[in-house]
């Protein structure tokens, strides 16, 4: 099991698909703020910050980073199960690890690692590249940002803790929808449908939250996007972790069960 996990992680880390997906996620942030991107290098230092681009792309008003990036996050690992089935190597891998259950569990772990890694690194790529042109955050904008979730993190160490928190929650969100997509792959053996599924799941979930007309503070989709908080920032992070654990365990359980049924 450990050998298979290590082999798959190496395959993901150095894959051209992964590199392209990381660059693609950074580009998604640019697309969400395309009309302001020239100010990144044309504006005087401090007139605009990296925070402005990331917040407006992921937390407020963007479409590419909250949704299209999920498709990119699915490319390295989520569709791997379908690709192994289509290529006919799945029985040999199962024989090597000695158990269908172990094989299925490894696929869940790799999906979580792959989607989280691509999302985190894509956001990191944008932040580090943009930091050459503008500051991460400026305290001169405190009057405008002090009502935002995790404002205290934004005021520390040039905002680095805030960016880490946003990337962490974005990675949780990406892996959550990708594990749900992995469950779909146990039934639908089409890698293109499975790759697109996280985007569709996220869009459907957001529309559901809007249709049921939940208060902003009670919307889980906005918690993961650093848009609102549930009582406090600490309880929001805990709530996100609880939701993530519940979804991963539930989808993982049914995925393992379905894979075992398919191999009988």
Q: pLDDT at position 137, please? A: 86
DSSP code of residue 139? G
Residues contacting 126, CB < 8 A, separation 6+: 25, 26, 29, 30, 50, 53, 54
Comparing CA positions, the residue from 158, 171, 134, 173 lying closest to residue 50 is: 134
Question: Lowest-confidence range among 113-122, 141-150, 154-163, 202-211?
Answer: 141-150
pLDDT at 249 exceeding the cut of 70: yes
Q: How many CA atoms lie within 13 A of 221 on its CB side?
A: 19
Phi, psi of 230 (to 5 degrees): -100, 100
Structure tokens belonging to residue 165: 């928190």
Maximum C-alpha span of the chain: 65
Residue ranges per structural domain of the chain: 2-262
Q: pLDDT at position 37, please? A: 82
Maximum average pLDDT range among 75-84, 117-126, 190-199, 224-233: 117-126
Mean predicted lDDT score pLDDT of the chain: 87
pLDDT at 141 exceeding the cut of 90: no
Q: pLDDT at position 32, please? A: 87
Residues contacting 141, CB < 8 A, separation 6+: 49, 51
Q: In whole angstroms, what is the distance from residue 239 CA to residue 204 CA?
A: 20
- Any idea what the Cα angle at residue 100 is, between residues 98 and 102, rounded to 5°? 75
pLDDT at 46 exceeding the cut of 70: no
pLDDT tens figures, 186-234: 888 788 888 899 999 999 999 999 999 888 899 999 999 988 899 889 9
């Amino acid at each position: 099991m450990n050998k298979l996990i290590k082999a798959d992680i190496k395959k993901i880390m150095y894959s051209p698909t992964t590199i392209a997906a990381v660059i693609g996620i950074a580009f998604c942030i640019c697309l969400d703020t395309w009309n302001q991107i020239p100010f990144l290098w044309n504006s005087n230092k401090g007139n605009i910050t990296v925070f402005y681009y990331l917040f407006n792309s992921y937390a407020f008003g963007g479409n590419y980073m909250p949704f299209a990036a999920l498709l990119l996050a699915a490319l390295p690992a989520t569709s791997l199960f379908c690709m192994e089935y289509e290529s006919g190597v799945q029985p040999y891998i199962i024989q090597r690890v000695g158990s269908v259950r172990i094989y299925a569990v490894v696929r869940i772990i790799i999906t979580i690692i792959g989607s989280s890694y691509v999302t985190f690194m894509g956001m990191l790529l944008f932040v580090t590249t943009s930091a050459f042109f503008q500051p991460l955050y400026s305290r001169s904008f405190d009057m405008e940002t002090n009502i935002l979730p995790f404002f205290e993190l934004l005021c520390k160490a040039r905002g680095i803790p805030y960016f880490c928190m946003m990337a962490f929650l974005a990675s949780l969100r990406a892996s959550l929808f990708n594990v749900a997509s992995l469950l779909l792959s146990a039934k639908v053996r089409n890698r293109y449908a499975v790759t697109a599924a996280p985007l569709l799941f996220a869009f459907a979930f957001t529309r559901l939250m809007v249709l049921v007309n939940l208060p902003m503070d009670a919307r889980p989709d906005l918690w993961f996007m650093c848009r609102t908080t549930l009582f406090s920032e600490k309880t929001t992070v805990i709530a996100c972790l609880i939701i993530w654990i519940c979804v991963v365990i539930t989808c993982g359980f049914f995925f393992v069960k379905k894979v075992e049924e398919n191999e009988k």
